[in-house]
Structure 1
Amino acid sequence: MRKQLEKMGKERHQFTGTFDRLGLKMSQGNGRGNHRYTPTICLKNIIDEQGKLVADHLWFNYSSSFLKVGELHPQDRIEFTAIPVEYHKDYHHEKRDMKLGKVSSVHLITHYHPYKPMPLAKTAAVGYVMSINGDEGHGHYSTAYHKWAFAQING
């Protein structure tokens, strides 16, 4: 349990975290074996506005708030606001923990590399994550990302 987050209440706070990696969250589609994916981002060493460590790592949906920052590299520092919220960790909803929700005001605070835009459309963002993680075998996701990337090159 992330006790420090629990103590913060349900107000919006400012946090800073270090980009670690991207992933995918899979949900069951229409019951016919069609899975749907949501891109996710893992930040590590999350600290609050007083500099206190509130979580060693947290996973977030890789939403447009994060995507607008541009392509991220390991060790990039990100500042954002969010609200601590409780969630259930396991399938049976017996274990509870805290996470950060309703993320907004996302800013890159390290600038080690030039800005590179990211696809804001969810399908293309999933394709991007699949591509960098070496898993491009999911047709329409990969196609959406490659169409977006080609448009970036050719204007």
Structure 2
Amino acid sequence: MREELKDLTSKSRHEFIGKFGRTGFKSGYKGYKPTILLKEITLVDNNGNNTIVADHLWLNYTKGFLELGELEIDDLIKFNARVNRYLKGVKGYRYAKVPDYGLSYPSKVSIVGNKTVRHPMPIKDPNALIGYIMKKNKYFYVSENRGYNEWYVNCYEGWLNK
């Protein structure tokens, strides 16, 4: 389904809308990196038409997304981004790499049509942010044995109490 992204140039920014799914994190060489799952990503063209370009995409949970406050499932998020090509690992006999397309450098991030006040997010405390993500998705991380750590959750709860 991401073939539609393939046709877009990576040299220019495009406007997209996606539904918030959930938060997560990935392991990086400097520790955990927060991520955000968007579903049903559509490209908004100059005429205001929307074309579905991906059923879901994981993006870095950048400051632009964090400044929106605590997101709710299915919030519509509008943003600009560049298309990027990367090699995706696929499990098999050997760990094969296949080309895939994603979005990077999101900017002009906003919630579509929802003006309710949101709880703030720990923008400047990366450990508290990872703790928020772990606490919010505790069942998943514990049941899948995927790196749940109470220390990060305590960092988040300490941030809440400040």
Question: Does the pair score TM above 0.5?
Answer: yes
Q: Distance in 1 between matches of 2:58 and 2:15?
A: 17
1:71–1:117 Cα contact (<8 Å) kept: yes
User: Please, which of 109, 132, 139 is the counterpart of residue 106 of structure 1?
Assistant: 109
Q: Distance in 1 between matches of 2:152 and 2:64?
A: 20
C-alpha displacement at 1:140, in angstroms? 3.6
Mapping for residues 45-84 of structure 1, pairs under 5 Å: 45-50=40-45, 51-84=50-83
Q: Distance in 1 between matches of 2:66 and 2:96?
A: 30
Percent identical pairs in the alignment equals 36
Q: Distance in 2 between matches of 1:132 and 1:46?
A: 23
1:15–1:47 Cα contact (<8 Å) kept: yes
Indicate the larger mover: 79-88 or 137-146.
Answer: 137-146
C-alpha offsets along residues 55-83 of structure 1, whole Å, 9 cap, x if unaligned? Answer: 11000111211111110111100000100
User: Please, which of 116, 123, 129 is the counterpart of residue 127 of structure 2?
Assistant: 123
Q: Distance in 1 between matches of 2:151 and 2:113?
A: 33
RMSD after superposition: 2.0
Aligned length: 145
In structure 1, stretches of 5+ residues that fail to align are 30-35
Letter in 2 for 1:37: Y
Q: Distance in 2 between matches of 1:78 and 1:113?
A: 14
In structure 2, stretches of 5+ residues that fail to align are 143-147
Moved beyond 3 Å, runs of 4+: none
Q: Distance in 1 between matches of 2:38 and 2:115?
A: 17
